[in-house]
Chain A
Amino acid sequence: AQSVTQPDIHITVSEGASLELRCNYSYGATPYLFWYVQSPGQGLQLLLKYFSGDTLVQGIKGFEAEFKRSQSSFNLRKPSVHWSDAAEYFCAVGLMEYGNKLVFGAGTILRVKS
């Protein structure tokens, strides 16, 4: 069955430090992959997406993610974290055979220390 695993429930980093959030997926075909961010009391906002081509994709707010087919991973990175990046981050895989359906990971809560 298709699934997305985000191994880290919580991550705390210092402001200005680099960040990497992990995401592993299980899906038989070439995946469509997404990262979303949710600030408290808000809906989910799309950060970036991977469909094909260059395996390193750039998103909004200075985030990037790298698709590694051999590792079934799509990790999110940012070189220098800002306090405003504190939020919950969700990785998702698109199931092409089910229309536009997405399967989401459980999320990773990012805390930023000043």
Chain B
Amino acid sequence: DAGVIQSPRHEVTEMGQEVTLRCKPISGHNSLFWYRQTMMRGLELLIYFNNNVPIDDSGMPEDRFSAKMPNASFSTLKIQPSEPRDSAVYFCASSHSRGGYEQYFGPGTRLTVT
């Protein structure tokens, strides 16, 4: 089985540019989570979706961040405009709401904003 797929794996961009991170969850999973990991703040939940509907976006740091899930097999996290403090590793995870709550993580996207 393919796991959670994220692209790109690495992204380097200049401050002010738009960044789009992509995630394909495990087939059959109906919950999707976006996390951010930094040395200073650890692992933070940004937003999560159930059945393609955003349930909790309280972790989204600012209006510059937005996330969509147009269908069950694809989600995006967009940062516009990007800032150096957005540099982090962004993880996507998926799970099945009728399962045991375990989440399966993708390999992450390392974002560097210069």
Contact = CB atoms under 8 A, between A and B. Distances in A.
B105 interface: yes
Interface in A21-51: 32, 34, 36, 42-46, 49, 51
A107 B43 contact: yes
Contacts of B106: 43
Contacts of A45: 105
A99 B50 contact: yes
Chain B contact residues: helix, strand, loop or mixed: strand
Given A100-B31, A107-B43, A94 B91 contact: no
Interface centre among B101, B102, B104, B105 (most CB of A within 10 A): B101
Contacts of B48: 99-101
Given A42-B107, A43-B91, A90 B43 contact: yes
Contact of B102 (A43, A49, A101, A106): A49
Given A32-B101, A90-B43, A98 B56 contact: yes
A46 B102 contact: yes
Interface in A70-93: 90
Interface of A: 32, 34, 36, 42-46, 49, 51, 90, 94, 96, 98-102, 104, 106-107
Interface of B: 4, 31, 33, 42-43, 45, 48, 50, 55-56, 91, 93, 95-97, 100-108
